[in-house]
Chain A
Amino acid sequence: MAISFEVNGQQKTVDVDPKTPLLWVLRDTLNLTGTKYGCGIAACGACTVHIDGEPARSCSYPVSGVAGKKITTIEGLSSSRTHPVQQAWIAEQVPQCGYCQSGQIMTAVAFLKKNPSPTAAQVDDAMSNNICRCGTAQRIRAAVLRAADLMGNAKNSSTGGAL
């Protein structure tokens, strides 16, 4: 069945089983591999994308549900890593293996849109449903606060960065 939607500003039409999770359409059909498969049950957050600006776990979101909607993936967040959240991630040297970080960043971007001046405790709440096995939580926390700083909104001043 043909389903049309917008991905990172480009109109796409795919002909797949409508039950196919958006994740696999992005990865296998549209070749956008920045969005990751981690668990398949919406438990880890590695597959997080934005659907009409809202964060969604694409591994458990049937593609039929995105017809006519606008999707943003990590590839569409900015050209050349200029989004403040990406800048903050680099400054805090967050990624280790890096596999979960697309989902972490997409979660953080959506959170900061809703709450541009968060406290550390609010960051913890917002980011606690994304799993990172490398244990980068401390750096993610600092990076989200730094991103809020970069956007001119932080209540807490972030650290001086990892370096």
Chain B
Amino acid sequence: MSTNTTLTRRTLLKKAAQTGAVAGAALVIGFDVPARAQDPDKPAGNPLKGWVKIDQNGQVTLIYSRSEMGQGVSTSLPMILADELCVDWKDIRVEHASVDPFYGDQGTGGSGSVAGMWMPLRKAGASAREMFIAAAAQRWSVTPETCTAKAGAVWRGDDKLTYAELVESAARLPVPDPANVRLKSPDEFEYIGKSLPRTDVPSKVDGSAIFGLDVRVPGMVYAVVARCPVFGGKVKRFDAARTKALKGVLDVFEIPAVGEGVYTCGGVVVVAETTYIAMQGRKLLQIEWDNGPAASESSETLRRQFRKLVDSSMKVVINQGDAEAAIAAAPAEKKIEVDYELPFQAHAAMEPLNCTVHIQSDRAEAWAASQSPNLVQGVIQKLTGLPPEKIQVHTTFMGGAFGRRYQWDFPTEAAQIAKRVSKPVQLVWSREDDMMHDFYRPASYHRMSGALDADGNVAGWRHKYTSTSIAEMFDPKAAPESSEVGLTAQIPYQTKGYKLEYLPAASAVPRAWWRSVEASVVGFVMESFIDELAHAGNVDPYEFRLRLIGDNRLVKDALDPKERPLDTARLKAVLQLAADKGDWGKPLPAGHGRGIACHYSFHTYVSNLVEVSVNNGALKVHRVVSAVDVGTPVNPNGIHAQVESAIVYGLTAALKSQITIQDGHTVQSNFNQFTTLSMKETPKIDVYIVPSNVPPTGIGEPGLPPTAPALTNAIFAATGKRIRRLPVQPGDLA
């Protein structure tokens, strides 16, 4: 569902930009996606003026235009470019692109960087290579066909001209027609498909990597904002006398909330000489808050609302066959009706949010750990009226992002502050700010009912679904389920009747894209429920999945005919690989159990198998085996790392972390309450990649959705206890 998700994100952002919807009533941001960024077959402009820099010493620098948040794009994207360009990998440097229309949309999300940049970068690299060859052929007065490119030089027999010697003349040559530029065949790849060391690793073992919080600009000051803990609450009045008396405090002032509802909170800003003084100054503020209507919201009120909604008649989203009648007609022992629920989740990236901005009368500069540097430029443009070319945005390394850094709330606050301070100012969010004012993964509730027919196949599958919709928050005109349904609109399991119903729940809690977005929710529900149906029919849950996926076929998205169909052959292949590598069906010690799950998201197929043991209520996760089909694997080491990462992130959400709400604010504010999987609790993870030559698909997120259900299916296999509410509570296993 990646295109769906990506387009949903992109569409919503565009919509917010155009209409100033919820997210931006006072905020019309200059966000647009140039046509070339949407056309995968066109490289962006002259590669020697944007993608490749070669200095007089012959140093080759490759530019990457997506944000490095740990997912490895600062390695995988240059690899793709380097391969077609024919430069020696060990000699190259990489550099992050500034925000420039040359690169089109520089947003990083939807597991889309490698998938989206695959053809543009190959064509850019190939175009540059052909330009070097043409320049050399001219120099030698020969035809280009007699020359070849290798290791940063053009060769003709033993004669060679290095790219450094050719760059000046090559840059003046016409850029080849992208439709005709010759691309390497897979057997010619030098780097693509090889595990190469990450370009950013050395700087991340000696403290030299510059993250957003590490930006240091001469004359800079630091700022924090006191925000109302209650979502949507505002400052009623405040007294800053004690704060202003603190040595090193430079300014205290109020900034308004931007956007209707809860986009930015507004609040009281403390500017100081150091981060610590700003934080201390904030503690001394006397603020009276107007908590607003959200103060009565809690996880319990939301849960009551969820239950009321699934008890009620809901909007029918998909109705194929007659699931309701089939379920009603089935004998009691052949049907099940169960409820699942998932909580809000915080992103909790290790680097708290921050943004450094310097606004001057005729220009502005920003240093942002952002997934959407175009939006950073947009908010500054909106606030200052400066033209985009006068607003320079530097994207720094990000200490994690997981979707949180796509939002433009923290750059908006930084720009509001910088406009008044007129010095470079670094806005710092404390961990508490970060956790209490996130855009959370939606909370949701699901009533699943299903029945088996006499042959043990699924006669009916009914899913009544409610959640705090992302779409509803960003665009009230969009169908609220559009951001929530994911693979429930593209179900790979054959069922005679299928019915999906949805209604959104009202909530003041902000929510948006969390790693794997809706797939993290529907993956758990669908893959738990199919397991329950298998056990109801006394069938091995792995065999049951294979049988219900059935013959090789393409499954269309019931709601979006343009979405890429799901290829059941590829889904079965990852299931079989995970089962094989994970010893499915082999004997286990007492108290152990294996669970399996599969999911298709971001056009990538993943199956995870989890082995656990439960002894006297104590759970241990021993091993996770993951099989992935990500199309052409560009950097296998990077793919392994991303899948390991997504699995741990998914296990944390399944076993440890959640955000609960009381009196309109989060209960959790730091890592002592929002706990994560420790090393002791981290199982051995083995990742297997299905060989493939089809274009690459996303890998930052798809390892997550099948993690929680494989875990809880394993818990069921070990104990007979079915987990239907995440995270797993200690009492669930007692």
Contacts and interface: CB of A to CB of B under 8 A. Distances in A.
B457 interface: no
A139 B643 CA distance: 13
B648 A135 contact: yes
Interface stretch (B252-260, B346-354, B560-568, B600-608): B346-354
Interface string A15-56: 011001100100111011111111111011010000000000
Contact of A90 (B201, B213, B648): B201
Interface in A104-151: 105, 123-125, 127-141
Contacts of B213: 27, 33, 36-37
A141 B679 contact: yes
Contacts of B205: 81, 86, 89-90, 94-95, 101, 105
Interface in A47-80: 73-75, 77-78, 80
B350 A36 contact: yes
A137 B198 contact: no
B555 interface: no
B573 interface: no
Nearest to B75: A93
Contact of B222 (A28, A74, A80, A99): A28
Interface residues of A, number: 63
Contact of A86 (B206, B274, B280, B670): B206
Given A97-B397, A133-B348, A133-B649, A34 B682 contact: no
Query: Main SS of the interface on chain B?
Result: loop
A44 to B, nearest CB: 5
A80 B70 CA distance: 22
B431 A39 contact: yes
Counting chain B CB atoms within 10 Å of each CB, the highest count among A34, A46, A89 belongs to A34
B207 interface: yes
A33 B216 contact: yes
B128 to A, nearest CB: 27
Nearest to A38: B350
A127 B196 CA distance: 27
B670 A41 contact: yes
Contact of B679 (A20, A29, A75, A140): A140
A2 interface: no
Nearest to A103: B350
A27 B397 CA distance: 17
A30 to B, nearest CB: 11
A100 interface: yes
A163 B350 contact: no
Contacts of B645: 96, 134-136
B209 interface: yes
Given A28-B276, A97-B69, A136-B645, A102 B207 contact: yes
Contacts of B432: 40
A129 B274 contact: no
A129 B195 contact: no
A131 to B, nearest CB: 5
A131 B431 CA distance: 13
B351 A36 contact: yes
B544 interface: no
B572 to A, nearest CB: 27
B453 interface: no
B275 A24 contact: yes
Given A44-B671, A125-B680, A135-B644, A75 B207 contact: yes
26 contacts: A17-B277, A20-B274, A27-B214, A33-B207, A33-B214, A36-B213, A36-B350, A37-B275, A38-B350, A39-B431, A40-B430, A90-B205, A93-B201, A95-B198, A95-B204, A96-B641, A97-B69, A98-B70, A98-B203, A99-B211, A101-B204, A105-B205, A133-B676, A135-B677, A137-B679, A140-B679
Given A36-B350, A38-B351, A73-B207, 19 more contacts: A32-B207, A36-B399, A38-B350, A38-B671, A39-B671, A41-B671, A43-B670, A74-B207, A77-B206, A81-B205, A89-B201, A97-B349, A98-B203, A131-B350, A131-B671, A134-B70, A135-B646, A141-B682, A162-B640
Interface of B: 69-72, 195-198, 200-211, 213-214, 216, 222, 247, 274-277, 280, 348-352, 397-402, 430-432, 637, 640-641, 644-649, 652, 670-672, 676-682, 684-685
